[in-house]
Amino acid sequence: MQRRSGAGPAPDPGSLREVQRQEAGLVRTLPKSRTGRVPAWPLTTKATTDEKELWAKLWKLPQAIVWEEQHVERAVARYVRMSLLVESGDANAAKVKSVLDQERTLLLELGSLMKAGFRITTNPTPAATVSSTKAAAAKRQVPSSRGRLRALPNVGDDST
């Protein structure tokens, strides 16, 4: 039996493998939303009111940061147009599949976002660094589960 590429569950953010990927710089955390101007509509045909509304909404998503870096404005505009067509009910199965494929490509699906190495932060703003005891600081600097086990104080050690 042949396995499908990409089949299986999405990565577990709390697993040791995920922590190792983060330590290696293979995971990028995006902020909760993109700030900045919405790009101009790139297609030659004028956008409808519904398309303009969805276009502006999509460019506030965290994934829009990646789209902007990769200059895929036209792909996002085609997704907007096809998505609204499918949602109107005037689409066959091929068009529905096309929109689903576009969602995966544009990282709008959680599984594809995680497999591509992106995470969305759970913090609205980065936490400020707070000074504390030397032992607490050492524990915070050990991100892996193996490291956390080694960072625990010895049981019965009276020197702490």
Distance CA 27, CA 9 (A): 17
- Number of Cβ within 10 Å of residue 107's Cβ equals 21
Domain ranges of the chain: 16-125
Distance CA 35, CA 28 (A): 18
What confidence category does residue 130 fall into, taking pLDDT thresholds of 50, 70 and 90? very low
What 3-state class would DSSP assign to 30? strand
Q: Provide the mean pLDDT of the chain.
A: 80
The percentage of the chain sitting over the pLDDT mark of 90, rounded to a whole number, equals: 47
Q: What is the widest separation between alpha-carbon atoms in the chain?
A: 75
pLDDT in tens, 57-114: 999 999 999 999 999 999 999 999 999 999 998 889 999 999 999 999 999 998 889 8
* Per-residue model confidence (pLDDT) at position 124: 59
